[in-house]
């Protein structure tokens, strides 16, 4: 970013950052759901490929949590609500 393109006020800075998708959904590991169910939810609700769904499910299993979706605040809220309705444990992050 060149100096002439840098935001000059707080509002401009906030608008600039909001457009870069700093929001995300974090999926937490549980002992209730089978791997295949979590993968299916990741593909269906987070729009992941089978390969990415397997990777996120494994990271969640191994580390206890993983980012499963990144997007605008509205997109993340919708994904988090859908994941919660699927009985998976998620939170929104910034």
CATH number, domain containing residue 89:
3.30.1390.10
The answer to whether residue 16 sits within a structural domain is no
Provide the phi-psi class of 59: left if phi over 0, else alpha when psi is between -120 and 50, else beta.
alpha
Query: Alpha carbon 3 to chain centroid distance?
Result: 32
Question: Could you tell me if residue 36 is inside a domain?
Answer: yes
pLDDT at residue 3 in the model: 44
Report yes or no on whether pTM surpasses 0.85. no
Find out whether 7 and 19 touch, Cβ atoms under 8 Å.
Answer: no
Query: Structure tokens of 92?
Result: 């929104």
| pLDDT for 2 | 42
Q: Provide the domain limits for residue 89.
A: 21-93
Using CA atoms, how far residue 38 sits from 30, 58, 80, in Å, is: 10, 10, 14
Instruction: Determine, yes or no, domain membership for 2.
Output: no
Q: What is the domain count for the chain?
A: 1
- What pLDDT is recorded for position 14? 47
Write out residues in the chain with pLDDT < 50, as ranges: 1-16
């Amino acid at each position: 970013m060149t100096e002439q393109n840098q935001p000059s006020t707080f509002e401009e800075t906030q608008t600039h950052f909001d457009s870069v998708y700093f929001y995300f959904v974090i999926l937490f590991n549980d002992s209730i759901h089978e791997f295949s169910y979590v993968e299916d939810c990741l593909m269906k609700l987070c729009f992941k490929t089978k390969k990415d769904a397997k990777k996120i499910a494994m990271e969640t299993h191994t580390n206890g949590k993983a980012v499963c979706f990144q997007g605008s605040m509205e997109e993340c809220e919708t994904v988090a609500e859908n994941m919660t309705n699927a009985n998976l444990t998620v939170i929104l992050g910034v």
